[in-house]
Amino acid sequence: MTAASVVSKTVHPFDKAQLDTLLTSRFFFAPAFEIYGGVAGLYDYGPPGSALQANILDVWRKHFIIEENMLEVDTTIMTPSAVFETSGHVAKFADWMVKDVETGEVLRADHLVEGVLEARLKGDKEARGVAEEAATEDKDAKKKKKKVKSTAVELDDTVVAAYNTILAQIDNYTGAELGAIIREHDIKNPDTNNAVSEPVQFNLMFDSSIGPTGKLKGYLRPETAQGHFVNFNRLLGFNNGRLPFASAQIGRSFRNEISPRAGLLRVREFTMAEVEHFVDPENKKHARFDEVKQIKARLLPKDVQMQGRTEISEITIGEAVEKKIIDNETLGYFVGRIHLFLLQIGIDPDRLRFRQHMPNEMAHYAADCWDAEIQSSYGWIECVGCADRSAYDLSVHSKRTGQALVASQVLAEPIVTERAVADYNKKTFGKTFGRDMPAILEALNKYNDEELMKLKGELDAGTSSITLEDGRSFNLTKDLLTVERKTFKQSVREFTPNVIEPSFGIGRILYSLLEHSYWRREQDIARGVLSFPTCVAPTKVLLVPISANTAFVPLIREISSKLRAAGISARVDDSSATIGKRYSRNDELGTPYGITIDFASVSKNTVTLRERDTTDQRIGPVDEVIAVVADLVQGTISWPEACNRLPAYDGVQDVD
């Protein structure tokens, strides 16, 4: 039980505007280059946002890399064009955009369709007098759609049905299909009421030029994955040639979004954490699958979505793999691990689901894909992708570069095969056929086993002949060549590994967590509280001297230094604001514990300890309070257990 769970956080309805103000004023994050007017889709993290991100990444590193001994890599962002030509990103990593025919404004085609149709459906409901649905409507609507004002106009029932069908499959359309929908349903730019052009592709990679010649084109990576793939042979070598193994990378990626909105959820530069788990395609079992198979992750399979429905399958991961809803154990294992990770950092399990990609929606490299989607005020947002990239990437890089990117397996039992082999007589063959020899040998090489056996029979009987592609025929005899059946023993199997890829958008997870952690106290709705789990809280402890009296300075220094030695991040707030205001400010920063230093601290060496969610205050000797805080931060005890070690402080009303 986390400390947060002992209080109700839903006393007051979610107030997005208040949260936004809190996040900017406390500098969790803010638009980048704001003093220059900002740039859409670029955000900077301030001190609490940076610390929150660093802590999420720290939990991620322990949960994935250290727990499973993954091989961490750090590869470059700048990538020569050839790599993304091979991976398919130059041709296919694009969105469909349309232009306003009058103003030239650029819009994302799918967002335009979605925004306009949803506004019409809303207008229809208004006209019919149907109450607006609750904010938890089950669509990832607000994240994408262009904001469109609705007008109360009733629609035909058949039109409503058609719109709903389109919206349920909005991620599933080609550019031509989006163009047809735009024409059929007379969709215009809602800002200008002008028509829009046919959809054209816009590649989402930022490009640049490497070196001074202007001849070597580079792209900023849109994912870290290719950096793992091009290093596959070195990684396999580092792992002593053994499979399965996983590499992992935390790093920045870039996507030149057409018209980013929705804050941290759709940005042009972002931190990712990616795992590439390399596995034998013939054995996608996972050694630790038992540890996750009982988990009931909330699954939304593709078949359900293809019918325009969105209800969740409430089954275990074990059952989902058994029924082939999830393709294999390794994919299922990572779905389970992702689920556990997100819960550990504080994501609300009721606002988390795993949605399977529909066929047209799948990335060009993927064989199966499950997105961990998290619900926020923007709807259901993809925060983690868990894709089976099959052998796609290693195969294409190997083909393009001519380098083998394979693993090998020593077979327990060698595979023994028998087949016919033709042996030609080097002396006579050349003399007989002269310049035609290479063409004849090439034609012979194409014979299959059956053809070779037929040839053998004819040669044994006396003579045979071979016909080239150009129609010329040549006689063959036993003096020229012989055919024998031979036995082959294969003791090593070579194969291209498949890749299972859990890929985390850290900014999206971080923003979702901010919404899930945010609530307001009944007695003080003007200020928010961010109830982060202690493991990700930007600062663990606030030190608050009751006044600016210099008598407190040595004790503050002592406690700071002891907390630092215990590896606990703490901040001192010795500003002139009241204790209550200082605590409120730190509730906004999500600091779980506060230590107050007053005159009793100086005379009796006691301090009080405040818990953020309950505002409980306890009292005890300095060293015991630090020991309790250390255990709380380590996660070895809960707040109720801490309360068993420290008596309640009865002066609470004086200071809070």
Site for a second copy in 555-574 (CB under 8 A): 564, 569, 571
Q: Are strands 368-376 and 379-390 parallel, antiparallel or unpaired?
A: antiparallel
CA separation, residue 249 to residues 23, 437, 519 (Å): 28, 54, 33
Output the smallest distance, CB 561 to a second copy, in A.
Answer: 11
Q: Which is nearer to a second copy, 232 or 593 (CB)?
A: 232
**From residue 263 to residue 282, what is the string marking binding to a second copy with x (rule CB under 8 A)?**
-----xx-x-----------
Output the smallest distance, CB 506 to a second copy, in A.
Answer: 10
3 Cβ contact list (under 8 Å, min separation 6): 534, 592, 611, 612, 613, 614, 632, 638, 639
Q: Which of residues 106-165 bind a second copy (CB under 8 A)?
A: 106
**From residue 404 to residue 443, what is the string marking binding to a second copy with x (rule CB under 8 A)?**
-x--------------------------------------
Output the smallest distance, CB 417 to a second copy, in A.
Answer: 29
Distance CA(14)–CA(32), nearest Å, equals 26
Q: Which is nearer to a second copy, 62 or 419 (CB)?
A: 62
Output the smallest distance, CB 337 to a second copy, in A.
Answer: 16
Distance CA(514)–CA(379), nearest Å, equals 15
Size of the site for a second copy (CB under 8 A): 78
Q: Which is nearer to a second copy, 349 or 580 (CB)?
A: 580
Output the smallest distance, CB 75 to a second copy, in A.
Answer: 4
Distance CA(616)–CA(620), nearest Å, equals 14
Q: Which of 212, 359, 462, 471 binds a second copy (CB under 8 A)?
A: 212
Q: Which of 30, 343, 358, 627 binds a second copy (CB under 8 A)?
A: 30
* CA-closest candidate to residue 269, choices 212, 320, 223: 223
227 interacts with a second copy by CB under 8 A: yes
Distance CA(216)–CA(15), nearest Å, equals 50
77 interacts with a second copy by CB under 8 A: yes
Which one of 62-70, 297-305, 335-343, 615-623 is the stretch in contact with a second copy (CB under 8 A)?
A: 62-70
Q: Are strands 570-572 and 541-545 parallel, antiparallel or unpaired?
A: parallel
Which amino acid, residue 288?
Answer: R
CB 601 within 8 A of CB 621: no
Output the smallest distance, CB 29 to a second copy, in A.
Answer: 9
Distance CA(211)–CA(577), nearest Å, equals 55
636 interacts with a second copy by CB under 8 A: no
Which one of 26-34, 314-322, 450-458, 476-484 is the stretch in contact with a second copy (CB under 8 A)?
A: 26-34
Distance CA(499)–CA(635), nearest Å, equals 34
* CA-closest candidate to residue 500, choices 328, 251, 322, 270: 328
CA angle 59, 62, 67 (to 5 degrees): 145
**From residue 177 to residue 206, what is the string marking binding to a second copy with x (rule CB under 8 A)?**
-------------------------x---x
DSSP state of 577: S
Sheet of 216-220: strand order equals: 78-80, 216-220, 207-210
Q: Which is nearer to a second copy, 405 or 628 (CB)?
A: 405
Distance CA(481)–CA(463), nearest Å, equals 11
Output the smallest distance, CB 489 to a second copy, in A.
Answer: 23
53 interacts with a second copy by CB under 8 A: yes
Q: Which is nearer to a second copy, 41 or 318 (CB)?
A: 41
243 interacts with a second copy by CB under 8 A: no
How far is C-alpha 438 from the geometric centre of its chain's CA atoms?
A: 54
399 interacts with a second copy by CB under 8 A: no
73 interacts with a second copy by CB under 8 A: yes
Q: Which is nearer to a second copy, 51 or 529 (CB)?
A: 51
Distance CA(83)–CA(398), nearest Å, equals 11
Q: Which of 76, 164, 408, 644 binds a second copy (CB under 8 A)?
A: 76
Distance CA(502)–CA(196), nearest Å, equals 37
Which one of 132-140, 208-216, 360-368, 432-440 is the stretch in contact with a second copy (CB under 8 A)?
A: 208-216
Q: Look-up: residue for tokens 């001849």? A: 215
Output the smallest distance, CB 278 to a second copy, in A.
Answer: 14
83 interacts with a second copy by CB under 8 A: yes
Q: Which of 254, 392, 532, 583 binds a second copy (CB under 8 A)?
A: 254
Which one of 33-41, 299-307, 326-334, 356-364 is the stretch in contact with a second copy (CB under 8 A)?
A: 33-41
Most distant CA pair in the chain, distance: 116
C-alpha gyration radius of the chain: 32
Give the containing element (helix H, strand E) for 334.
helix 329-345
Distance CA(431)–CA(440), nearest Å, equals 13
